[in-house]
Amino acid sequence: MRASIERTPRFAIRVFTDAERDYCESKGVAKFQSYAARFAAKEAFLKALKTGWRGKIAWHDIEIVLDGDGVPSLSLTGESEKLLSSSGADVVHVSLSHTTEHAIAQVILETTT
């Protein structure tokens, strides 16, 4: 992630929302870890939907947000919101983790009805 952002600064603007970039940039030397975890979560969401990156999905349609306790969740808009709705799932669980060298995210779609 560090190499991608340093080589092509517009990458961060294209992939992450303003709020995501503000959060990551506030992390100082750990900012690239935060970027990587968010990127992994966006990809994990698409894998959970079984769609991959296709059609009209935009990177900014999938935003990782934190609640007051720092618990991550996904804020979905546009095509990603439509795809979730058509999947039948009504709850999205997300987990992020990272070290200095690795980032991982898991997204689970749940149908409660």
Q: Which residues are catalytic?
A: 47, 98
Q: Would you state the structure tokens that stand for residue 40, as one six-digit string? A: 């992994």
- How far, in Å, CA of 69 to CA of 12, rounded? 25
Q: How many CB atoms lie within 10 A of CB 37?
A: 21
What kind and span of H or E run contains 49?
helix 31-49
Q: Would you state the structure tokens that stand for residue 91, as one six-digit string? A: 């709850």
